[in-house]
């Protein structure tokens, strides 16, 4: 059924009105009508389009986003999207102009198009017959990703160009960004809804344009400024970039209002200084200015290097700095037990985000700064760089002096109360290890790992789920899990839950070396755990060992001995070991002593697949008999154990004339050594 002419005229009129008001509101910041009137126009258009089947890709109603994509399509840029060379000083800008004049063999004054370097995401927009056909990310410059579904939701980007003399096909390049006001609005909404707030505008914009679900992108007030054009067919554009910007603007495309035309590099430098002075007042984040030769013919004549044009340069502004007060210094415990000082600051907006705390790294950094609580400090942040205290501004008033407090490392761990010990020259660490709540997830993951208890199916993501859901709080809780609890977790059905419970029960029958390694004692790896087990034979003797007795174990020095004794002198650690034993963990008593080392001074290399034993078990047995196990073959290698699939290591062993044995010979060797040791 044909659409009544009156309805078609109304639809066309509504689309023109809505796009007109979109441009006034989102590009020119000069709205003419209230939001309610705008919404009424959009609702009327949606009604007519649905009733008469008049939806088109360029309609303003199509900006809300469609069904989510499953993946991004790759887009090859017809003309590469090059990176820009960088300058940081006036001298580097002058050198830039000198290179241009030398290549052009002319000393004529050059005109430059200057604009802010917006801190956003570079994109390419392709318009065919004035209709937005495709949008793509810059990617690696040669290949990007198709993000048309997301770009359609950005109201400052026209779905259809307006005006005369629009080329049949034109590629427009620009920077998509999230303005400061938009960023503040988004985070304010997140705070009121109790959802996660965003870190900074650039990362938010970058994540939004790469959303598979365009409806999520549509919720953010993204904007764009055009900065150049690429491929053009079926039409002409102006011969100077400054005039091209005017043409783009006349077609409804957004261009940066802070752009300028400058004659000579000194005028460019003055522009940069002026832009830097009003950086904070701009509603979008910038990290510098872009200087381009204005004449497009000269641009073509100058050409490009491999990755950067010779006719353009980014003049980078210095890192943003602000002063604020250090309210306190707290100590955080990292996932491996490292104690790190963190400064709590009077909140300050710097480098695009509000900073309320920053790491101080270690006590040496505090000493270098001469920092105390109550000091006024300079905080620097540039781009995505972690904020940093770079300087202390000394307090000058008596009042502020009385508030200054020295910073000291806590004697006990802030997370569990265990003693804090020094680790090397500058670091401090919680001595508890496995029972410390701050180290909970990492200690459980280590405990279940292949070289430790080897609980098949208990991977990192599942450990995170178990801890986050309150099902386990330490490694002993693993053995209280049941299939019903596990089956209720994400991606864990009844069958998988039953298999995991079986694997947990199986892991109860272990070896003393594996158990000691699983405890995560500082600097006690597989070899040291095996050395301790073979020296003491059973855990009760190890628990009572003095530092002198520990140092009697081969390859254990005073530092490692102190770590071991500190661990076993912790009552909470001892209680955990008893819990594990009560849960059913057991191991055979080892009979190989420290003096029974028939393979001492031998170096073995394992390569290929071992079909009858676990590679780690083979390695532990070799170490128990005194051998060293290396990862590569050299002239010092005594023997290579080669299983199916052995490759370059086997070839090198044959080349060097090193003894090679197969798995059957290796098994026979271990059996004979065990018999000789009295096993």
CATH, residue 17: 1.10.287.610
Percent of the chain with pLDDT over 90: 36
Asked if the structure places residue 40 within a domain, the reply is yes
- How far apart are the C-alpha atoms of 119 and 286, rounded to whole Å? 5
pLDDT in tens, 518-556: 998 888 887 788 788 888 888 999 999 999 999 888 778
pLDDT band of 637, cuts 50, 70, 90: very high
The half-sphere exposure of 678 on its side-chain side, counting CA atoms within 13 A, is 7
Radius of gyration of the chain (CA): 34
Confidence at 21, pLDDT banded by 50, 70, 90: confident
Q: Residue 128 — φ and ψ, nearest 5°?
A: -120, 125
- The verdict on 368 and 469 lying in the same domain is no
CA distances from 421 to 381, 409, 567 (A): 32, 10, 11
Distance from C-alpha of 413 to C-alpha of 434, rounded to nearest angstrom: 13
Residue 401 has pLDDT above 60, yes or no: no
Sheet with strand 639-642: strands edge to edge: 628-630, 603-607, 639-642, 659-661
Mean pLDDT of 251-260: 95
pLDDT of residue 667: 85
One domain for residues 536 and 617 = no
Nearest 5°: the CA angle 388, 392, 396 is: 150
User: Are the beta carbons of 173 and 256 closer than 8 angstroms?
Assistant: no
C-alpha span between 16 and 171 (Å, rounded): 23
Report residue 70's pLDDT band, with 50, 70 and 90 as the boundaries.
low
Least confident of 15-29, 169-183, 496-510, 598-612: 15-29
Nearest to 385 by CA among 527, 258, 594, 200: 200
Q: Are 276 and 317 in contact (CB under 8 A)?
A: yes
**Whether residue 221 sits in one domain with residue 125:** yes
Q: How far apart are CA 367 and CA 679, in angstroms?
A: 57
Determine the pLDDT at residue 263: 96
Domain assignment of residue 70, yes or no: no
Rounding to the nearest 10 degrees, give the CA dihedral for residues 360, 207, 39, 226: 100
Longest dimension (CA), the chain: 103
What does the pLDDT read at residue 661? 93
Please indicate, yes or no, whether residues 295 and 151 belong to a single structural domain of this protein: yes
Q: Which is nearest to 151 in space by CA: 72, 34, 237, 229?
A: 72
Q: Inform me whether the pLDDT recorded for 396 exceeds 90.
A: no
C-alpha torsion angle, residues 16, 17, 18, 23 (rounded to 10): 90
CATH number of the domain enclosing 345: 2.40.50.140
Residue 560's CB is within 10 A of a number of other CB atoms, namely 20
User: Do 313 and 85 touch, CB atoms closer than 8 A?
Assistant: yes
What is d(CA 256, CA 180) in angstroms, rounded to the nearest whole number?
15
In terms of domains, do 446 and 574 share one? yes
The answer to the question of residue 414 being in a domain is: no
Say yes or no: 608 and 575 in one domain: no
Joined together, the tokens standing for residue 322 give 């602000």
> What separation in angstroms does the CA of 144 have from each of 153, 575, 632?
19, 57, 41
In the numeric block, the tokens 């995505």 are attached to 384
Same domain assignment for residues 326 and 247: no
Asked whether residue 76 is assigned to any structural domain, the reply reads no
Query: Per-residue pLDDT tens for 668-678?
Result: 888 787 666 54
CA nearest to 618, candidates 562, 677, 665? 665
Between CA 9 and CA 314 the distance in angstroms is 48
Q: Is the pLDDT of residue 65 over 60?
A: no
**DSSP of 339-378:** EEEEEEEEEEEETTEEEEEEE--SHHHHHHHT--BT-EEE
Distance CA 408, CA 265 (A): 52
As a whole number, the mean pLDDT across the chain is 85
* Residues facing residue 314 across a β-bridge: 86, 290
CA separation, residue 373 to residues 359, 366, 516 (Å): 14, 11, 42
User: Per-residue pLDDT for 247 more than 90?
Assistant: yes
- Predicted confidence band of residue 67 (pLDDT cuts 50, 70, 90): low
% of the chain residues with pLDDT over 70: 91
Q: Which of 316, 332, 358 is the last residue of a domain?
A: 316
How are beta strands 312-316 and 260-263 bridged, if at all? unpaired
Return d(Cα 141, Cα 72) in angstroms, integer. Answer: 17
From 55-59, 111-115, 195-199, the region with the lowest mean pLDDT: 195-199
Cβ neighbours of residue 473 closer than 8 Å, sequence gap 6 or more: 437, 440, 467
Residue 670 has φ and ψ, to the nearest 5°, of -65, -40
Exposed, middle or buried: residue 530 (CB in 10 Å: 0-12, 13-18, 19+)? buried
Residues 277 and 341 in one domain: no
Q: Please give the helix or strand (H or E) that residue 333 lies within, else none.
A: strand 320-333
pLDDT of residue 399: 46
Residue 384: pLDDT over 60: no
Mean of pLDDT values over 637-664:
90
Q: For residue 53, what are the domain limits?
A: 5-64
Domain co-membership, 134 together with 186: yes
Closest CA to 313 of 277, 279, 262, 361: 262
Q: How many domains would you assign to the chain?
A: 5
Same domain, 280 and 372: no
pLDDT digits (tens, 9 = 90+) for 407-458: 998 999 988 888 888 877 778 888 887 778 888 888 888 899 988 899 999 9
In this structure, what DSSP letter does residue 159 have? Answer: S
Task: Tell me which residue has tokens 């002319």.
Answer: 106
Set 86, 117, 649, 652: catalytic member: 117
Residue 566, SS3 per DSSP: helix
Q: What is the CATH number of the domain that holds 455?
A: 1.10.150.20
Q: Record the tokens describing residue 353, joined without a space.
A: 């985000």
Contact indicator for 242, 175 with CB cutoff of 8 Å: no
Give yes or no for residue 397 having a pLDDT over 50: no
> Around 629, how many Cα atoms within 13 Å sit in the side-chain half-sphere?
16
Over 70: is that where the pLDDT of 593 sits? Answer: no
Domain closes at, from 281, 298, 316: 316
Would residue 508 count as lying in a domain?
Answer: yes
User: Does the pLDDT of residue 35 top 70, yes or no?
Assistant: no
Residue 91 CB contacts under 8 Å (≥ 6 apart), including other chains: none
CB of 389 within 8 A of CB of 378? Answer: yes
Catalytic: 635?
A: no
Residue where the block lists tokens 């604009």: 115
**What is the per-residue pLDDT across 256-281, written as a single tens digit (0 to 9) for each?**
999 999 999 999 999 999 999 888 88
CA–CA dist 328, 375 (Å, integer): 10
**Does residue 177 lie in a domain region?**
yes
239 lies in the same domain as 104? yes
578, pLDDT greater than 80? yes
DSSP 605-643: EEES--SSS-HHHHHHHHHHTT-EEESS--TT--EEEE-
In a domain, 154, yes or no: yes
Residue 408: exposure state from Cβ atoms within 10 A (0-12, 13-18, ≥19): exposed
> What is the rounded distance in angstroms from the CA atom of residue 442 to the CA atom of residue 461?
11
Report yes or no on 490 lying in a domain.
Answer: yes
CATH code for the domain of 631: 3.40.50.10190
What single DSSP character describes residue 72? P
Domain check: are 238 and 105 in the same one?
yes
């Amino acid at each position: 059924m044909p659409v009544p002419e009156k309805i078609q005229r109304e639809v066309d009129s509504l689309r023109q009105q809505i796009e007109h008001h979109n441009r006034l509101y989102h590009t020119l910041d000069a709205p003419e009508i209230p939001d309610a009137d705008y919404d009424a126009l959009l609702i009327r258009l949606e009604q007519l389009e649905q009733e008469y089947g008049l939806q088109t890709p360029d309609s303003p109603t199509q900006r809300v986003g469609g069904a989510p994509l499953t993946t991004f399509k790759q887009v090859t840029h017809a003309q590469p999207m090059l990176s820009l060379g960088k300058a940081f000083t006036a001298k580097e800008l002058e050198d830039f102009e000198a290179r241009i004049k030398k290549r052009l063999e002319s000393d004529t004054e050059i005109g430059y198009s200057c604009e802010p370097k917006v801190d956003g995401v570079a994109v390419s927009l392709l318009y065919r017959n004035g209709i937005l056909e495709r949008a793509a990310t810059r990617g690696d410059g040669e290949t990007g990703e198709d993000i048309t579904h997301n770009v359609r939701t950005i109201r400052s980007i026209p779905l259809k160009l307006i005006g005369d003399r629009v080329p049949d096909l034109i590629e427009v390049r620009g920077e998509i960004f999230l303005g400061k006001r938009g960023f503040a609005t988004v985070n304010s909404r997140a705070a009121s809804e109790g959802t996660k707030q965003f870190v900074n505008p650039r990362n938010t914009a970058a994540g939004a344009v790469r959303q598979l679900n365009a409806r999520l992108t549509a919720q953010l007030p993204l904007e764009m400024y055009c900065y150049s054009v690429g491929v053009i067919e079926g039409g002409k554009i102006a011969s100077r970039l400054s005039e091209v910007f005017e043409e783009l603007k006349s077609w409804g495309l957004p261009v940066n209002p802070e752009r300028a035309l400058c004659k000579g590099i000194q005028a460019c430098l003055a522009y940069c200084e002026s832009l830097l002075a009003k950086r904070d007042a701009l509603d979008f984040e910038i990290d510098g200015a872009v200087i381009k030769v204005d004449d497009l013919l000269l641009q073509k004549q100058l050409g490009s290097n491999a990755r950067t044009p010779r006719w353009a340069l980014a003049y980078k502004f210095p890192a943003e700095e602000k002063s604020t007060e250090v309210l306190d210094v707290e100590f955080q415990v990292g996932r491996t037990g490292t104690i790190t000082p963190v400064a709590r600051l009077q909140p300050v907006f710097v480098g695009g985000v509000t900073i309320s705390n920053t790491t101080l790294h270690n006590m040496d950094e505090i000493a270098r700064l001469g920092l105390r609580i109550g000091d006024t400090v300079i905080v620097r942040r540039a781009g995505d760089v972690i904020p940093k205290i770079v300087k202390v501004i000394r307090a000058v008033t008596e009042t502020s002096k009385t508030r200054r407090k020295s910073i000291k490392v806590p004697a006990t761990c802030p997370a569990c109360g265990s003693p804090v010990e020094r680790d090397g020259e500058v670091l401090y660490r919680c001595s508890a290890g496995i029972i410390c709540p701050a180290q909970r997830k990492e200690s459980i993951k280590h405990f279940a790992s292949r070289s430790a208890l080897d609980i098949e199916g208990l991977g990192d993501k599942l450990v995170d789920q178990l801890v986050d859901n309150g099902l386990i709080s330490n490694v002993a809780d693993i053995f209280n899990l049941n299939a019903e609890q596990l089956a209720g977790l994400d991606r864990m059905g009844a069958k998988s839950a039953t298999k995991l419970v079986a694997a947990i029960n199986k892991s109860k029958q272990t070896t003393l070396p594996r158990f000691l390694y699983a405890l995560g004692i500082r600097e006690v790896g597989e070899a040291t755990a095996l050395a301790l087990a073979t020296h003491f034979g059973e855990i009760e003797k190890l628990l009572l060992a003095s530092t002198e007795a520990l140092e009697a174990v081969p390859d254990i020095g005073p530092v490692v001995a102190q770590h071991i004794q500190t661990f076993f002198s912790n009552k909470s650690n001892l209680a955990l070991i008893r819990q594990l034993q009560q849960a059913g963990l057991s191991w055979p008593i080892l009979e190989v002593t420290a003096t029974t080392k028939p393979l001492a001074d031998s170096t073995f290399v394992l390569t290929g697949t071992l079909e009858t034993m676990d590679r780690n078990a083979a390695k532990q047995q070799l170490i128990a008999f005194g051998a060293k196990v290396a990862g590569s073959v050299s002239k010092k290698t005594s023997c290579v154990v080669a299983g199916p699939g052995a490759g370059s290591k086997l070839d090198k062993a044959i080349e060097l004339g090193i003894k090679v044995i197969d798995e059957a010979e290796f098994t026979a060797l271990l059996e004979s050594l065990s018999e000789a040791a009295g096993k």
